[in-house]
Amino acid sequence: MVVDFSTLIFYGGDMPPGKTLSLFRRQIDQIDQKILDLLNKRSRIVLKIGSLKTKEKRAYYVPSRERRHLDRLKKINKGPFPHHSLQSVFKEIFSASLSLQSPIKTGYLGPAGTFTHAASLRHFGHSTEMVPMTSISKVFEEVEHGRLDYGVVPIENSMEGVVNLTLDLFLDSPLKINAEILLPITHHLLSQATGLNLIQKIYSHPHATAQCRQWLEENLPSVPIMDESSTARAAQRAAEEPHAAAIASEYAAEIYNLRIVSKNIGDYPNNYTRFLVIGRNEMPPSRDDKTSLLFSVKDEAGILYKVLEPFSKEKINLTKIESRPMKKKAWQYIFFLDIEGHMKEPKIKRTLRSLERKSVLLKVLGSYPKSL
């Protein structure tokens, strides 16, 4: 039955509350039915696209296509449905669609409930098979050998800086960066206990402890803090001990059935971690990309200025530069660079050719869509 508002007019726009609520609920039920029908219609088209991709040996996962589609939807969204919710809803639709075409396996630094796990779910959605790995090195290894389709690894935190191990692994890895994820880091105090006065010890990763130092000193100054390998492992330990607590995410609280005793205990409100999606293929342009690369140069006066000068001449924005010692040769350094644009753009091609002539080593790690 189609519901209209002629009944409301009959009552002069002042229908009894129960009657009005019933009409609205029936209208929502009809809309939800239409949404379900359209999702299934979309899925049938997705299956046809998957068959074509299989025949033509094309990649199933194309983050640049997802990015363009989300940008277009945001532009035409007139509200009141919020942009951030629109992104979350369609990420799950993309995830379900991808699982219909070709189920993919994504590895992350585990165990379940880490911020890397949360970043993986935000990017790939819940229809992707998520596989916890014991280390960042293991994520690289499993993707390289084809046992995982993609991996998600941390690259830098706005408070703690760069993750050196991730940078080092790129030096010898053939993998490419396929996407980036920017995740706000919000720390909570989790426990089985019902109040702060019942907590006798705290488990935490050292980085999380450092980011909550002021709150801990003000609220639990005499409670010992035990280091753990991850915030998720800290939550696991707290779930095993009735008077222990953990500094971890809201997602970890859900997984390990813990109470949030105190919310948002971090000392820094603008705390973000950047993650990278790594895979075996290069990504096509999305119109709003970054390119990451590494290079090494001879040790001579002014050499860094010389190699970076072409970026300035071509008006290419450098968003990050980081140096690391080259472990195979003393006092030799590797520079990691993030720039705006895609490696296929003419001005970036020209600049990379110039950089290659002046470098003893140049490796493009990938071009990929900027994080939303």
Residue positions annotated with a catalytic role: 273, 275
Tell me the residue length of the chain: 372
Secondary structure of residue 203 in the 3-state scheme: strand
